Amino acid sequence: MIEQEIKFELESAADFSRFLEGLEAEAQMPARLLSQTTHYPDTPELTPAGRLVMFRIRESSGVVITLKSGTHVEDGYFRSSEVEAALDPALLEGILARPRTVYGLDVAPVQALCHDFGELQLECIGTLRNMRRVVVVDGHTV
């Protein structure tokens, strides 16, 4: 799958509020808040990250494992390749405790990681918790 994103740099919280107000005025449905926790397995040397490859496990309405690569950036427009698969939430705790156990999963993101890097000595190098405001405008998720 090819993901396409536009990223904006806003100067202040007030600019962000005005931006959201404009989006929500155009939305086809009310905005919703989505809680996300994203875990980043990588090596201590950041082997995938050093080649602009991101391997992540995201908890939200379900658990998704993703390998994101080939990112091309031009004037705030990001395009990258994503390989994703749903992950059984019951497996998450064990994977976070021992990230190398992902190699026992028969899913496309892990297969792509192995293809590109072999079996790495993965560790969970970070976790990000955030709230995402989801707005649909003209059929596009913003």
Q: Which two tokens stand for residue 124?
A: 């969970």
Question: What's the rounded mean pLDDT across residues 94-122?
Answer: 97
Q: Which amino acid is at 102?
A: V
* Contacts (Cβ under 8 Å, ≥6 apart) of 126: 39, 40
- Extract the tokens encoding 65: 């494992």
Q: What is the pTM of this model?
A: 0.85
DSSP for 31-76 reads -EEEEEEEEEEE-TT-HHHHTT-EEEEEESSSEEEEEEEEEEEETT
Q: DSSP secondary-structure letter at 100? A: G
pLDDT in tens, 29-84: 888 899 999 999 999 999 999 999 999 999 999 999 999 998 788 887 788 889 99
CA 77 from centroid of its chain's CA atoms:
16
Do 31 and 133 touch, CB atoms closer than 8 A?
yes
Residue 1 reports pLDDT greater than 80: no
Task: For residue 50, give the DSSP letter.
Answer: H
Band (10; pLDDT cuts 50, 70, 90)? confident
Nearest in space to 42 (alpha carbons), one of 32, 52, 54, 30: 54
* Averaged pLDDT of the chain: 91
Please compute Rg for the chain using Cα positions. Answer: 17
Mean pLDDT of the 94-115 span: 97
Average pLDDT estimate for 118-123:
97
Tell me which of 3-12, 37-46, 102-111, 126-135 is least confident: 3-12
Neighbours of 123 (CB within 10 A): 14
